[in-house]
Amino acid sequence: MQASVFVPVFATFLFASENMSFVQAQVAMLDVFYLTFMLLGIFFYLRGNPIAAGIFMGLSMLGKAMAALAILGIAVHWVVTRRDQMAGEVRFTWNALLGIKGVPSTRSDILGMMKFLVAIPVVWLALLALLELAATHTWSNPISRTISMLTSHLGLTFNSSSTSTTGIATRPWEWLYYPGGLFYWYTPRFIGAIGWTVWALVVPAMAYMGYEIIRGRFRGHAVATFALFWFIGVYGLL
């Protein structure tokens, strides 16, 4: 993917100066670790190194299981941007089975995506057991622990009629029309709120990404396609 040098520099500046970056780091939230490894995983995915990307995405999930949504965004982006190559490979394979000769199409690198998807659970299961051992001094079954985490996460609810909640008391879309944030602590005051600069730009930016994709006859600019699916995966499905 290629883009103007201004785009990554400006994005890095917004990220580095964003209020949430400082607050989350100061109160030692898990988001700091999961986001760092997620960015590294995405970096290696864009560099064409699926194994390294899978390793870092697995580490990101160990920091916070929400990283699985970024994996979904990557997988959807991979399918959308390589659907023509995949269709060509299917046609070539089918014709070969029928004895019809043809010219092989451009490879979609299915093997690379398989390496990426396999590396993630390997890192997750292997290191989960070791980290549990370091924390509890007992061996635990990583599969049963994964199931326990999944069921407990799916059990989180938001009940507006109750004075207490079993999950975080905000919904993703609420942050788009008013970045009120959450109070992590009152003295000293730590407020987890999106900075006004990012809040004002996020909806127009994603709308423009959609425009770029539509203008490209549903193929879209590679950068726009990836950015939109990344946003939908990590934020829209949260």
pLDDT in tens, 131-163: 888 888 888 888 988 888 888 777 766 665 544
Yes or no: say if 213 and 48 are a contact pair by the CB < 8 Å rule: no
pLDDT of residue 26: 78
Yes or no: say if 96 and 103 are a contact pair by the CB < 8 Å rule: no
pLDDT of residue 3: 62
With a pLDDT cut of 70, the percent of the chain lying above it is: 84
Yes or no: say if 82 and 235 are a contact pair by the CB < 8 Å rule: no
Strand partners, 183: 191
Residue with tokens 């989350």: 24
Which residues make Cβ contacts (< 8 Å) with residue 206, sequence separation at least 6? 227, 228, 231
Yes or no: say if 119 and 58 are a contact pair by the CB < 8 Å rule: yes
Distance between CA atoms of 67 and 77, rounded to whole angstroms? 16
Distance between CA atoms of 15 and 195, rounded to whole angstroms? 10
pLDDT tens for each residue of 158-182: 665 544 444 455 667 777 777 777 7
- Hey, what amino acid is at 136? T
Residue 218 vs residue 20, higher pLDDT: 20
Residue 217 pLDDT > 80: no
pLDDT tens for each residue of 8-48: 788 888 888 888 888 887 777 788 888 899 999 999 998 98
Residue 16 vs residue 83, higher pLDDT: 16
Yes or no: say if 172 and 234 are a contact pair by the CB < 8 Å rule: no
Distance between CA atoms of 138 and 130, rounded to whole angstroms? 9
pLDDT of residue 165: 46
Residue 73 vs residue 172, higher pLDDT: 73
Q: Which of 79-83, 170-174, 206-210, 231-235 has the highest mean pLDDT?
A: 206-210
For the beta carbon of residue 29, count every other beta carbon within 10 angstroms.
17
